[in-house]
Structure 1
Amino acid sequence: MSSPSIVWFRDDLRLADHPALRAAIDRGEPIIGLYVLDEESPGIRPHGGAAKWWLHHSLASLGERLGERGGTLVLRRGPAERIVQELVTDAGAGAVFWNRRYGGAEREVDAALKQGLREEGVEVASFAGSLLFEPWTVKTGAGTPFSVFTPFWRACLALPAPRAPLPEPRAIDGPGRAPASDDLADWDLLPTKPDWAGGLRETWEPGEPAARARLREFLRDDLGSYDRTRDEPGAGATSLLSPRLRWGEVSPYTVWHEAVEAGGGSRFLSEVGWREFAWHTLYRFPELATKNLRPEFDAFNWPRLKPTALEAWQQGQTGYAIVDAGMRELWQSGYMHNRVRMITASFLIKNLLIDWRRGEEWFWDTLVDADEASNPFNWQWVAGSGADASPYFRVFNPELQAKKFDGDGSYVRQWAPEYLAEDGRPPMPIVDLKETRQAALDAYEDVKQAARSH
């Protein structure tokens, strides 16, 4: 009698270059694909609204692709440790395979599950499928983690090159009788009252086939000009692969090797490296979304929150064109150009003097590519409280940034056209840039002085 293998899909919603799936195929027993919607395990951060929308469609695509090859995807909701144990028992599974996760709460769940299953005689194995370089493999000469990106990435590039991606399986041997599964629609991942996802539907097609098509399109059309135009939000030259990597619809190994084969793109690959750096930072500092990585910033005196200022920022009504364009692009599409992310984040933190955690929470809820490493990591970078942080005195001036990176106004014209219309009536500026910049510098100087006194 067969003892099926369970492949536990997480943030790796693909068939190609999936080491856990390959291990199950090599074991030679029927395969049960499993996805667990875990919003109950301690420390697990529930997905934001835009992320839930993407997850729904990516799971639908994965289930369809598994079915086409003879496999099955079981959906279950609840604390992952219990759910996986129950399916092992229900299916009489002899093995469970997954690709590793690197958040603190996730690692605790995985470690407990691995120990419990092995004690029951179940084969368990985990694999590297989501990062090119695992966190414990990249260290300084003193054996400590890196805190600055450039030497970190240099050390990564000195390691053996990332492995070649694994081929997509043509056939998957499913079980004779599929275990009970939740109906995806019952998870209520899609917004209905109101349905605010129209812009997401117009912008994105989740799923592995679209991810692979986007990678090929970028490498063919945009890689050559990436270094020159990547900072221009109106140029349309970015890869748009961030949500694909966030949900694992394409692996970083595939991106790496296909980029190299297409002619290199060292600057583009360093952006992949920045993603790695964020995950390595989260691995050693699991509370990245809630605590300052640099503890001296705990002394920063955030003024009392002004809800009207926060709402103006969220709604793209600040009176500064590129800030408002970025926030409207985010609300409409679930995405924002990276340069504009830095500008809007700097404006919230340093011109409005609003705690970076409020901005991180908003991006977490509205970005389709928000993950638990990159989102807080980048917010802390702008705030100056994180790894490889920008100097505290760097305050992005949104007007100068717009002139430098959107000189022809194409980005603002698309998302906040009233700023360029002759009879346009844009919002009045809610703060004075010069005054608020000085207030931010004064507050940061207090942090420096407090650190020196200790």
Structure 2
Amino acid sequence: MPDPVLVWFRQDLRLSDQAALAAAMREGPVIPVYILDDAAPGEWKIGAAQRWWLHHSLESLAKDLEDRGSRLILRRGNSAEELERLAKETGACAVHALSHLEPWWRNAERAVARRLPLHLHDGALLLPPECLKTGGGTPYRIFTPFARAVMEHMPPAKPMPAPKRIDGPAKWPPSERLSGWGLLPAQPDWANGFAKEWTPGEAGAAKRLRDFDDEVSGYDPARNLPSCEGTSRLSPHLHFGEISPAEIWHRVSGKGEGAAVFLKELIWRDYAHVQIWVMPEYGSKNARGTFDNMPWRDLREAKGDFAAWKLGRTGYPIVDAGMRQLWATGWMHNRVRMIAASFLIKHLLIDWRHGARWFWDTLVDADYANNSVNWQWVAGSGVDANIFSRIMAPLVQSPKFEAADYIRQWVPELAQLDDKVIHDPDAYDARPRDYPAKRVGHRQGRERALAAYRHVKR
């Protein structure tokens, strides 16, 4: 029997369209391994909501492997050290893995390659980042030309089916127990509503894609309406790699204008990853250096406002509905994410990095590339971003995107108000006693933000 081969799973928890697994199976018996490496990401250790998802996704992956005669080996610690230890225990001759662009994973890949033969494969994105260069030979930093360049390479290769059987080694190495990792919240179980919303794992991702396939024709404009299920809700499955972007592309492509709009969102995901490939510190550093001059409010001064935003108690119903949806489900409608982020940055004049950190801890789909690039897009500090002076007006956005029923669902104090009143109860002298007054008036917040922005323009 040939020497076994390690397959290093990370944010690619699937068996179908898994190039690393397919390549490893051609070499010899396969030992699938997942390492909980909290040290490598440093300050970007996966957040609490992601840990809930990870627990259930690993459970699902382990079962899928067992159904094919294999098993998932769990280890905790430094990725390079644990893979080297496993290689010595098992006689494994190489490691296969999908390539990831988060800075800590790139560092970990280099560390592994110094110890063991490491074979990296594409599959986390539609295209590897080095495929696309401008006429000057540099990576694209602006989305529109990037998207045009991507389309020249589409469709991606057809996805590979999951193997029916995976041969393992004659003797398996020991594995840690998933239950001992403490990924699930307890005392209290603040995630008790997550299971009603989500089914982590490859099977859950496949079902979500089938459901969306029936809805994609109406994606535009339904994606902007929080009161209806117009979005794909595939983002956490994509983040954890339970489904490949190629699989999604082939499933929905060619199904009308709604599908075309959705596929641009899939391209945006690639775009965001290219930006962190070029600028690994995108999550903590302004992409536009002039924003280093922005006079953000000191968080000690703004503590009450920041707490109110996190709890969904700002006095702006559309913002509060989004933040409470986040608490209850680990997810927020994309249009509302933009409104809530804009409110924190511009109305409350709080540094975008504080909001990004909160989303990192509370979103089940908290992706370093998407989270960082999207926050900097709203802040205006990104490479290709919204202009800071374009300030979203929550009281206009809410009726424009028909958010009345969404507010009723997540802000029960306002459920009895009619559609005309619910977006801004104060304007009709109809604010219930148990609902807070606005933390800041729209005009006051806007003028303060524009005054601060003048420091950036200097």
TM-score clears 0.5 = yes
Instruction: Note if 1:428 corresponds to 2:421.
Output: no
Cα distance change of structure 1 residues 208 and 401 upon mapping to structure 2, 3 Å threshold: same
Distance 1:44 1:116, change over 3 A: farther
Q: Which amino acid aligns with 1:99?
A: L
Corresponding residue SS for 1:394? coil
Report the alpha carbon displacement of residue 45 of structure 1 after superposing the two structures with TM. Answer: 2.0
Q: Determine the structure 1 residue equivalent to 2:8.
A: 8
- CA deviation string 1:49-79 (max 9, x = no partner): 0000000000000001101100110000001
- Say if 2:237 is the partner of 1:214: no
State the match for 1:71 in structure 2.
70
Q: CA–CA distance in 2 between the matches of 1:348 and 1:302? A: 11
Mapped pair 1:194 → 2:193: no
In the TM superposition, residue 30 of structure 1 has moved relative to its aligned partner by 1.3
Structure 2 CA distance for partners of 1:167 and 1:215, relative to 1, 3 Å: same
Is residue 44–residue 105 contact of structure 1 (8 Å, CA) maintained in 2?
no
CA contact (8 A) 2:155 2:249 kept: no
For 1:284, the equivalent position in structure 2 comes to 278
Aligned to 1:418: 413
- Answer whether contact 2:217 2:255 (CA < 8 A) is retained: no
**Whole-Å separation in 1 of the counterparts to 2:43 and 2:97:** 18
After the TM superposition, list the runs of 4 or more consecutive aligned residues in structure 1 that deviate by more than 4 angstroms: 261-264
Residue 117 in 1 paired to residue 116 in 2? yes
Equivalent residue number for residue 162 of structure 2: 168
Q: Alignment partner of 2:34: what SS?
A: strand
Q: 1:311 to 1:42 in 2, by over 3 A?
A: closer
| Mapped pair 1:354 → 2:353 | no
CA contact (8 A) 2:147 2:267 kept: yes
* Residue number in structure 2 paired with 1:41: 40
Once the two structures are TM-superposed, the CA of residue 115 in structure 1 deviates from its matched residue by 3.3
Task: Quote the Cα distance in structure 2 between the aligned partners of 1:252 and 1:140.
Answer: 23
Give the alignment of 1:372-391 within 5 angstroms.
Answer: 372-391=368-387
Cα separation, 1, equivalents of 2:70 and 2:76: 20
- State the TM-score, normalized to the length of structure 2: 0.94
2:247 maps to 1:254: yes
Q: What is the CA–CA distance in structure 2 between the aligned matches of 1:262 and 1:160, rounded to whole Å?
A: 15
User: What are the superposed Cα offsets for residues 284-315 of structure 1, whole Å, 9 maximum, x if unpaired?
Assistant: 11111111011111111112221111000000
* Alignment partners' CA distance in 2, 1:419 and 1:286: 43
Identity %: 47
Structure 2 counterpart of 1:361, which letter?
R
Q: Distance in 1 between matches of 2:204 and 2:415?
A: 35
Tell me, in whole angstroms, the C-alpha distance in 1 between the residues paired with 2:246 and 2:115. Answer: 31
Corresponding letter in the other structure for 1:167: P
Structure 2 letter corresponding to 1:254: E
Aligned partner of 1:93 in structure 2 is: 92
Whether 1:239 and 2:235 are equivalent positions in the alignment is no
Q: Which residue of 1 aligns with 2:105?
A: 106
Structure 1 residue aligned with 2:31: 32
- What letter corresponds to residue 401 of structure 1 in structure 2? Q
Secondary structure of the 2:367 match is coil
- Which residue number in structure 2 is paired with residue 367 of structure 1? 363
The alignment's C-alpha RMSD in Å is 1.4
Matched, 1:448 2:457: yes
Q: Is 1:438 aligned with 2:447?
A: yes
Local SS of the residue matching 2:280:
coil
Q: What is the CA-CA distance between 1:158 and the residue it aligns to? A: 1.6
Q: Is the 2:409–2:415 Cα contact (8 Å) retained in structure 1?
A: no
User: Counterpart of 1:55 in 2: which secondary structure?
Assistant: helix
Change (3 A) 1:34 1:326: same
Q: Is the 8 A contact 1:318 1:429 kept in 2?
A: yes
Whichever residue aligns with residue 455 of structure 2, its letter is D
Deviation at 1:117, TM superposition (A): 1.3
Say whether the 8 Å CA contact 1:74–1:179 is kept in structure 2: yes
Q: Does 1:151 align with 2:150?
A: no
What are the residue-to-residue correspondences of 1:47-62 with 2, within 5 Å?
Answer: 47-62=46-61
Q: Which residue of 1 aligns with 2:325?
A: 329
Deviation at residue 344 of structure 1 after TM alignment = 0.2
CA distance in 1, matches of 2:321, 2:104: 36
2:204 maps to amino acid? A
Contact 1:58-1:207 at 8 Å conserved across structures: yes
Structure 2 stretches of 5 or more lacking a match? 418-429
> SS of 1:12's equivalent?
coil
Aligned to 2:423: none
> Given residue 252 of structure 1, which amino acid in structure 2 is its aligned partner?
P
| Structure-2 residue corresponding to 1:227 | 220
Q: Provide the secondary structure at the position in 2 that maps to 1:179.
A: coil
Number of equivalent positions? 441
Superposed CA deviations along residues 75-119 of structure 1, whole A, max 9, x for unmatched, are: 00001010111101111002210000112221121023123213x
Structure 1: 5+ residue stretches without partners: 119-123, 450-454
Aligned to 1:301: 295
Q: Verify the 8 A CA contact 1:44 1:106 in the aligned structure 2.
A: no
Cα deviation for residue 368 of structure 1 reads 0.1
SS of the counterpart of 1:195? coil
Q: Is the 8 A contact 1:38 1:44 kept in 2?
A: no
